Structure formats: C-alpha cells, structure tokens
Amino acid sequence: MSQTILIADDERMLRRTLQRVLSRAGFSVLTAENGAEAVKLFSENREKIDLCILDMNMPTLNGTEALHQIRNIEERANIVLASGESEQAILEQCTDIMPNGIIEKPFSLDTLLRDVRSFLV
C-alpha cells in the first residue's frame, strides 16, 4: 500500500509538478490550493495521510494556521512546512507547535524526494 502525501500550495504549477513527481515515485498524492482546503482534506482522509507538506504563504489559512488546525485534529500528524524564507524565520512563526520538518524553497525535485522519504521514516 502506497503512502499518501497531502500537498498544500497556492501555486498551481508547483502543485501539479509535485503531484506528478511524487506520484511517479510511488506515492498517492492529495492536493489543496490553500490552508483551509488542506485542513478539510486532512479531516476527511486523516487515517490515510502519512505526510502533509504545507506552503507557508497561502490564502485563506497560511501554513502555520493550517499546521495548528491539523494538529488539533490529529496531534501526531506528520507536517512539513515549505517556504522561501529561512528555516530560522519559519521557526520563529511556530511559537507553540513545531512542524516535523522544513523544506526551503526553491528546492530541486531530487532534494524534495530525499526529504520526503526522510520525513516518512
């Protein structure tokens, strides 16, 4: 059974690219175009989602807001934040609930796959 990854990013082309790359690598992929949609998808599919990759800057709910809401649904949810900001800047925005990891943009697809696999171990 393949592992399922939820990707939330408001950039449609990036979402499509990530979905294609991760699907080819053998993962099942769910996509959301904003944080609110990510929270809804997680709520509906939480028993099968192994990893959430949330962009920090999205409309409706940003990455940290979605992180909080998803962790309220499942406190052990495996969540990674993706951003063009530095890791330090991201962590400063996560005062009370920390992500499982951070992916700094821009990233190569090889780096993404390596990071995803490491977050799923």
pLDDT value, residue 14: 94
Count, residues in the chain: 121
**99 upstream amide cis, omega within 30 of 0:** no
Per-residue pLDDT of the chain in tens (121 residues, 90 and over written 9): 689 999 999 999 999 999 999 999 999 999 999 999 999 999 999 999 999 999 999 989 999 999 999 999 999 999 999 999 888 888 888 878 899 999 999 999 999 999 999 999 8
Give residue 57's domain range.
Answer: 4-119
**CB 74 within 8 Å of CB 46:** yes
Residue 60: which CATH number? 3.40.50.2300
pLDDT value, residue 91: 85
Say how many domains are in the chain.
Answer: 1
**CB 58 within 8 Å of CB 8:** yes
